[in-house]
Amino acid sequence: MRGRFLRRLVAEESWHSTPVGLLLLPVLPGSRLVLLAASGTGVYGDEQSEFVCHTQQPGCKAACYDAFHPLSPLRFWAFQVILVAVPSALYMGFTVYHGIWHWEDSGKVKKEEETLTQQGQGSTDASGAERPRLLWAYVAQLGVRLVLEGAALGGQYHLYGFKMPSSFACRREPCLGSITCNLSRPTEKTIFLKTMFGVSGLCLFFTLLELVLLGLGRWWQTWKQKSSSSDCFPTSESTRKHKEPNDNFPVVESKDQFRTAGPYSLTFHSIGISRPEAGFPSFQATGYLNDQAFFHYDHESGKAEPRGPWKQVEGMEDWEEVSKHQKARGDFFLKNLKEVMDYYKDTGNHTMQEKIVCELRNNSYCRAFWMTTYDGQDYIEFNTEIPAWFPRQTKAVFTKVKWETEGSVQRAKDYLEEECPRLLRNYLQYSKTFLDRQDAPSVSITSQVGPGNIRTLKCLAYHFYPGPVSMYWTRAGLAVETDEWGDIVLSEDGNYHSWVTVKVPYSDTGPYFCRVQHSSLAEPLTVLWNEGQESQAAGTA
């Protein structure tokens, strides 16, 4: 439990950091501290004792040294290190508070994720709703650090300049006249002074660079989201949920509102298990064209076999070659799973999943992503824009370093942006007719009387494709308040089904109509409920 909490805590703390923030910003302040501890005392430790003034006047040397260095450089740099570390410490404290506050809700969030996944909406980030707070806290601490670093550089220049002089002319009481004072090893002190200037300057530069990269990253994400939502995807509401009529007003639908020109997607979903149960494969992979599985491979059979209508398609793939390729991928995949387990010192049964997706719209590359999860939690993902592997857990940094050292960044980018779209274009030559098909829904209506003489009318639409559909009840031409909508579920035959219910008093005999609108229908399909018998109807394209 503690280990998982610490892993999550570090992952949260570094979630919004770019590679600059993850690697350089922690290293440079540490280097400054090591430099100061290792060499600072040796270089500046004798500064006051070796400050020699040509006078015997009592108190004159102390007064001249105070005029030369009002603040000891060693104390100034120590104060600088502590002051600059305060924003980072406060941010880490806020992250700890954030982690503890949300740790107890992790089980609830995980259940919500599983529900979303079952509904086909994909997994979401467990703390995504709260991460904007961490982002702004991170930006705030960077801004404060930037100001402090700039102020420290200005203060260092004002107090010490860029060069340590070999002598200093002093005119200060109780000295009589002008007194010349000499310093020991001015050249060595100058070198160390400029080194500290350089380290502080680098800290200032990389802090500013981190802020710029964060700003560019946010701008790029916003632009990509707008671009993706307009060019790559219909809205999630239109693809996964029913369209709702306005209350108490007739509903007019257009057939075109359901049609979308793509996009087409190619997905490879792989699963590896460290200790599978008997009869269950250690590795399996499934390929999808849009939402349709077109092949499946597992280590038990060692064969990649086409699924559904692709069983009858000739020439689309050499399935023997695909089997060899998937076997090699499976061996490599399980090797990676073993390495990740070693990073965590895990034993027993663990799983790793990988999803690789590329998409086309109007036959042009739209977007792609590559995500790996470990035991159900996001582990590492590939960003094609930078390009780079982004760790989503602490230990994933080891995987990132290993993969990038092996040169996987360019290979992954080329695969997602060139090879995967090329495969998709090839598959579409054999599959577009099936993916673009319009299967009209069939509809059945049943009724059931429950407690309190309340009748539940259920309208079931089935065997339709693609998924977006509008279903609702009407009475006298007006939409009736819906009691419950069923999810739009993909059946084993590759088509969808869904349902909608309404509750009415037992004495209310209607008439009630179930209206179903789908892209395959020229006009909405309207089915009348007949009391005492099941109503059925089939739409025609």
DSSP assignments along 75-93, one per residue: HHHHHHHHHHHHHHHHHHH
The neighbouring-strand residues paired with 496 are 464, 490
Within-domain flag for 306: yes
Q: Which of 468, 466, 459, 465 is nearest to 528 (CA)?
A: 459
Q: What share of the chain is helix, strand, coil (3-state, %, to 5)?
A: 45, 25, 30
**At 499, is the secondary structure helix, strand, or coil?**
strand
432 and 452 in a single domain? The answer is no
Report the alpha-carbon distance of residue 378 to residue 396 in Å, rounded.
10
Give helix then strand counts, H and E, for the chain.
14, 21
Count the domains in the chain: 3
**Strand order, beta sheet including 512-517:** 478-479, 470-475, 512-517, 525-528
pLDDT digits (tens, 9 = 90+) for 279-319: 889 999 999 999 999 999 999 999 999 998 999 999 999 99
Report the alpha-carbon distance of residue 332 to residue 392 in Å, rounded.
21
- Which residue, chain included where needed, has tokens 């094609």? 384
Alpha helices in 161-274 (DSSP H): 186-227, 236-240
The answer to whether the CB of 99 falls within 8 A of the CB of 9 is yes
pTM: 0.58
pLDDT digits (tens, 9 = 90+) for 351-392: 999 999 999 988 888 899 999 999 999 999 998 888 889 999
78 and 213 in a single domain? The answer is yes
One pLDDT digit (tens) per residue for the chain, 541 residues: 455 545 555 555 555 667 777 666 677 778 888 888 888 888 888 788 888 888 888 889 889 988 888 888 888 988 888 888 888 888 878 777 765 655 444 444 444 444 433 333 334 344 444 456 777 888 888 899 899 999 999 999 888 888 888 889 988 888 888 888 988 888 898 999 899 899 888 888 888 888 888 888 777 766 765 655 455 544 433 334 454 554 443 443 444 444 444 689 999 999 999 999 888 899 999 999 999 999 999 999 999 999 989 999 999 999 999 999 999 999 999 999 999 999 999 999 999 999 999 999 888 888 999 999 999 999 999 988 888 899 999 899 999 999 988 989 999 999 999 999 999 999 999 999 899 999 999 999 999 888 888 999 999 999 999 989 999 999 988 999 888 999 999 988 889 999 999 999 988 888 899 999 999 999 999 999 887 666 777 766 6
Within-domain flag for 514: yes
Going 280 to 285 to 291 to 294, the CA torsion angle's sign is negative
522 and 477 in a single domain? The answer is yes
426 and 494 in a single domain? The answer is no
Q: 185: which 2 tokens?
A: 């090893």
Q: 184: which 2 tokens?
A: 């020991």
Q: Which of 162, 216, 174, 228 is nearest to 59 (CA)?
A: 174
Within-domain flag for 117: no
Amino acid type, 328? A
Q: 516: which 2 tokens?
A: 């179903």
50 and 72 in a single domain? The answer is yes
**Domain boundary residue among 375, 408, 436?**
436
Within-domain flag for 237: no
How much is the pLDDT for 22? 67
- Residue range(s) defining the domain that contains residue 476: 442-533
Within-domain flag for 49: yes
Within-domain flag for 66: yes
**What's the CATH code of the domain at 207?**
1.20.1440.80
The answer to whether the CB of 61 falls within 8 A of the CB of 229 is no
Q: Which of 475, 468, 482 is nearest to 520 (CA)?
A: 468
3-state SS, one letter per residue, for 257-326: HHCCCCCEEEEEEEEEECCCCCCCCCEEEEEEECCEEEEEEECCCCEEEECHHHHHCCCCCCHHHHHHHH
176 and 309 in a single domain? The answer is no
94 and 171 in a single domain? The answer is yes
**Strand order, beta sheet including 167-170:** 52-53, 179-182, 167-170
How much is the pLDDT for 444? 94
317 and 463 in a single domain? The answer is no
Q: Which of 461, 465, 455 is nearest to 504 (CA)?
A: 455
For 252, residues 6+ apart whose C-beta sits below 8 A from its C-beta are: none
**Domain boundary residue among 386, 408, 436?**
436
Within-domain flag for 108: no
Q: How many residues does the chain have?
A: 541
**What's the CATH code of the domain at 411?**
3.30.500.10
How much is the pLDDT for 219? 78
462 and 494 in a single domain? The answer is yes
* CA neighbours closer than 13 Å in the CB half-sphere of residue 100: 5
The answer to whether the CB of 114 falls within 8 A of the CB of 120 is no
181 and 75 in a single domain? The answer is yes
**Domain boundary residue among 436, 455, 490?**
436
The neighbouring-strand residues paired with 306 are 295
**What's the CATH code of the domain at 496?**
2.60.40.10
Longest dimension (CA), the chain: 120
270 and 401 in a single domain? The answer is yes
Within-domain flag for 94: yes
CA 128 to chain centroid, in Å, comes to 9
427 and 306 in a single domain? The answer is yes
Report the alpha-carbon distance of residue 432 to residue 422 in Å, rounded.
15
Report the alpha-carbon distance of residue 417 to residue 425 in Å, rounded.
12
